[in-house]
Amino acid sequence: MQAHVFNDGMQARVFNDGMQIHVFNDGMQAHVFNDGMQAHVFNECMQAHVFNDGMQAHVFNDGMQAHVFNDGMQAHVFNDGMQAHVFNDGMQAHVFNDGMQAHVFNDGMQAHVFNDGMQAHVFNDGM
């Protein structure tokens, strides 16, 4: 069930444990935790923190441009300083970090990670 990516050039680490997808991009410090229905984003460079716990979306943006849209079960985060974008649609978590190009797509049970800075790509299309 687990897809783990360790890219220590730009430090992009992806943990997909069952329904949980965890992304650690320590170059631009974009961290995504999707635990069940909960999407947590930590972008420590631009300090964008998103906590979606159940139906609750909490945003802490200590740098710039963090926008959160929580529509039903959907949490959308746009941090355009380092371009960290999180879309949690139902069970789907999508992360776009275009500073270091860390992209995570969790569609149903599918986790897709695109890190085009150091080219770490993960496709988990089954479980």
What is the rounded (10 degree) CA torsion for 61, 43, 73, 35? -140
Give 61-85 pLDDT, tens digit per residue. 333 334 343 334 344 443 334 344 4
Whether residue 96 lies inside any domain: the answer is yes
Q: Supply the pLDDT for residue 53.
A: 40
Q: Supply the pLDDT for residue 6.
A: 38
Whether residue 41 lies inside any domain: the answer is yes
Whether residue 37 lies inside any domain: the answer is yes
Q: Supply the pLDDT for residue 112.
A: 43
Whether residue 8 lies inside any domain: the answer is yes
Whether residue 59 lies inside any domain: the answer is no
- Tell me the residue range of the domain where 109 lies: 3-54+64-124
- Single out the residue of 29, 51, 40 nearest to residue 97, CA to CA: 29
Compute the Cα dihedral for 44, 2, 5, 117 and give only its sign. negative
Q: How many domains would you assign to the chain?
A: 1
